[in-house]
Amino acid sequence: MIKIFLIRHGQSEWNKLNKIQGQKNTILTELGEKQALYMGNRLINEKIDIIYTSDLKRAYDTAKIISNEINKPLISSDAIREINFGPWEGLNTEELLDKYKDEYLTWNKEPDKLNMDGVETLEDLKNRGMKYINNIIKENQNKNIAIVSHGAMLKVILLGLLGMEMSYYKNISLNNVSLSIIECRDYNNVLTLLNDTSHLKEIR
C-alpha cells in the first residue's frame, strides 16, 4: 500500500495580509517556520520515505524544515506549484471585489466554472498536478510519500486521487500546515484524514 501525506505550506507573509499568492514567490513568516517544525515533529514516527515539494519558496522552506526533522530526502518541482492566478496575484479581497467582482464571485461559488484570461482553470491545474502525482506513485510503490504544496493544488490532488468531480473543490478547506492522508489500497484510494491541524494546538 502507498500512503500519501498531503501538507499545505506554513503561514506566509501574504497569508497574513490576505493577498492572493498564486505563483508569486512569497516567504514564510516566523509563525510559518514554527508551524513547519511542529509538522516535522508530528511526522517523525510516520515512516515517511520521501518528500516532494513545490519549488515556490513558501512550500520549499516548509518542506525543508520537515525534511531536516525527519531526515528524509527532498525533491522539488514546478509541477506542483500553486494555481496561476495571473492578474489576481498580489491583490487582496477588497481589490478583487472592486476590479473583478463577477469573476471573484464565480471563483467563490463555482470555482470549477471560472474561465478567465491569464488564470489557470481547475481542470488545467488538476491535469498538471495529477500527471506528476501519478508518476510519483508509479516510482514509489509500497512507500509513504509526503507532498508539500499549496491550497488549490492540494485540493485538486485530493479530488483527483479520489475520483471526484472538480465541482466539489468549493466544499474543501485546507489550513496552513494541515495534514491530509490518502491510502492507495489494492482496490480503492481512501481518504483517512482531512485538514488536520492538531499538531499546532500549542501555537494557536
Q: CA 106 to CA 57: how far, in whole Å?
A: 29
Q: Which residues are catalytic?
A: 9, 150
Give the number of C-alpha atoms closer than 13 A to the C-alpha of residue 64, restricted to the C-beta side: 11
Sheet holding 179-184, edge to edge: 74-77, 50-54, 144-149, 2-8, 179-184, 189-196
What's the one-letter identity of residue 145?
I
Q: Which residues of 93-112 are buried (b: 16+ CB within 10 A; e: fewer)?
A: eeebeeebeebbebbeeebb
Cell of 66: 520537515
Residue 28's DSSP bridge partners are 12
